[in-house]
Amino acid sequence: MASVQDNPNIRKYIDLANGYLRPASGVPALTFVVTLFLVGVFIVSIFDDTLVDNWCLFPEALFDFELTRFTTYPLVHTGFLHLFFNLVSLWAPMAQFEKMNGTVHTALVFNILSVIVAVPYCILGYFFYSDTTVVGASGLVFSFVAYFSYVNSLRHKTVKLFGRYEVPTISVPFVLLGIVFLLVPNSSLIGHFLGIIAGFILAQGWLAPLTVPPIGLIEKIEAFLHRLIDLIPRQISYIKEIDVKDGRYQEDNTSLPLYNTDNAGAPPIVAPRPVATVDAFQGPGHVLGTGA
């Protein structure tokens, strides 16, 4: 009797996962640090029950000028499963984005996306769900999936979802949105939708003024700190700005574990415009993975 791992589709996803978890060039530095940091914050929150309350996002935060919450809410989670599924979902798209676009650039994108989603979430929440709070990093997953869906749609009009169902490439984040909502009805439909919109905005290049500092600032800082950067173990890959800036936001035909393209390996193409890339967001109901 053949084992589950003998299934070609399952085998393909296992190989992809191994490539992301143990890449030959080293684990992308920011992805590695963010993973450790989220785990660390969760451990601290077990002993400090005020941490989640102090870092969560709620609609009144915008109007009370508690603006630090705009970047802290993706860092806290309400339970182990909430953290685990967010980490598993975030690792592959974030690692791929970092490899393509640089470590510092990805850090800027991570924070800018959090803010861009938080503002409309607070505005809508003020009128429709004022007593709701939100925490977690799952919205970032939707943003990165939306980004890759747009960039890959420039070459591949359709993809095979889960290796079987052919759908328009641009529709992948919306299919994922529906699947998550069906499996977890009290997850944040509104917040995840805002995450998708943020990912498309990123892919269009409209965030470039916020994520690409002028006068080659990142390159200059990295050049100044190159001795410290060179001390990073080879198992951890720090992607320098100078190595990726010219090829940033190219379609590279690398499939995420969620879906695959049939003609992977074709030469990359550049997006037609310079493009510059969110937590369990929640409308009425509960945050994914929490009973709050």
- Pick the closest to residue 181 from 263, 96, 280, 66 (CA basis): 280
| Known active-site residue 192 | yes
CB 114 within 8 A of CB 73: yes
Tokens 């309400």 correspond to: 78
| Known active-site residue 114 | no
3-state DSSP assignment of residue 196: helix
In angstroms, rounded to a whole number, what is the distance separating the alpha carbons of residues 71 and 41?
14
Of 138, 149, 188, 237, which one is the catalytic site residue? 138
CB 268 within 8 A of CB 253: yes
3-state DSSP assignment of residue 160: strand
Of 114, 192, 237, 286, which one is the catalytic site residue? 192
Helices then strands, counting H and E runs in the chain, come out as 14, 7
Phi first, then psi: what are they for 163, rounded to 5°?
A: 75, 10
3-state helix, strand, coil in the chain (%, to 5): 60, 5, 35
In angstroms, rounded to a whole number, what is the distance separating the alpha carbons of residues 138 and 280?
5
In angstroms, rounded to a whole number, what is the distance separating the alpha carbons of residues 164 and 9?
9
* Crossing angle for the helix pair 103-128 and 189-204, to the nearest 10 degrees: 140
Query: At CA 108, angle to CA 69 and CA 145, rounded to 5?
Result: 90
Phi first, then psi: what are they for 165, rounded to 5°?
A: -100, 120
Active-site positions read 138, 192
